[in-house]
Amino acid sequence: MSKSAKFNRADVVEKATRLYWKKGFHGTSMRNLQDVVDLRPGSIYATFGNKENLFKEVLQHYAQVSLCRLSACKKASSSPLEALRMLVKNTLRDSSAPNGMCMLVKSVAELTIENAELLSEAKRLLRLIESAFAATFKEAIEQGEISVSKDPNYLARYLQIQIMGLRTYAHANDHDQAIEALIDDIFDSSIVRG
């Protein structure tokens, strides 16, 4: 009879997510993982294969949480554009980010060709989130919130870049009112509204 795992995989991935987000892939040792997820190295290897596979699962988990947040904002908002605005505001208010940066962006900045598979996965997940933004902008166009002359893919790239910059700015400054105003400027600008 095989032994069943005495841990919750989702809990392990969540704990590893916070650790990798704080320390990065290269800054996280197996000993760090062992201490934080409360598993012996043998259990980590048996469950995930290696540190890289756990990191890949962490990236996927992080992206899924981001997509779920967008979905929740869409359900709580009166319009697609307001859902995106709410998402950006919530993202910038989120104090769970250990360093203010998006984990996927941080990973793209940290990983090199030596970690090509992980780098590729982080980039793929950023594109996936951007696609969700594009779909939401498309809904806003279809509902008449934005001019039909606007390209939802362009708007999604624009928003992704703005979020990256605002998160860095917010991490470096304590100007909550200025950040709120900048977020409003993004959605009220002629780039978005036409």
Q: Can you read off the two tokens belonging to residue 158?
A: 């624009």
Give 98's contacts (C-beta < 8 A, 6+ positions apart).
18, 21, 22
**Predicted pLDDT at 86:** 95
Residue 191 class from Cβ within 10 Å (0-12 exposed, 13-18 middle, 19+ buried)? middle
Q: Give the global pTM.
A: 0.89
Q: Return d(Cα 30, Cα 21) in angstroms, integer.
A: 15
pLDDT at 154: 97
Token code pair at residue 117: 């598979």
Write the burial class of residue 96 (CB in 10 Å: 0-12 exposed, 13-18 middle, 19+ buried).
exposed
Sign (positive/negative) of CA torsion 112, 117, 118, 124? Answer: positive
Residue with tokens 């598993």: 39
Low-confidence ranges of the chain (pLDDT < 50): 1-4
Q: For position 2, what pLDDT does the model report?
A: 44
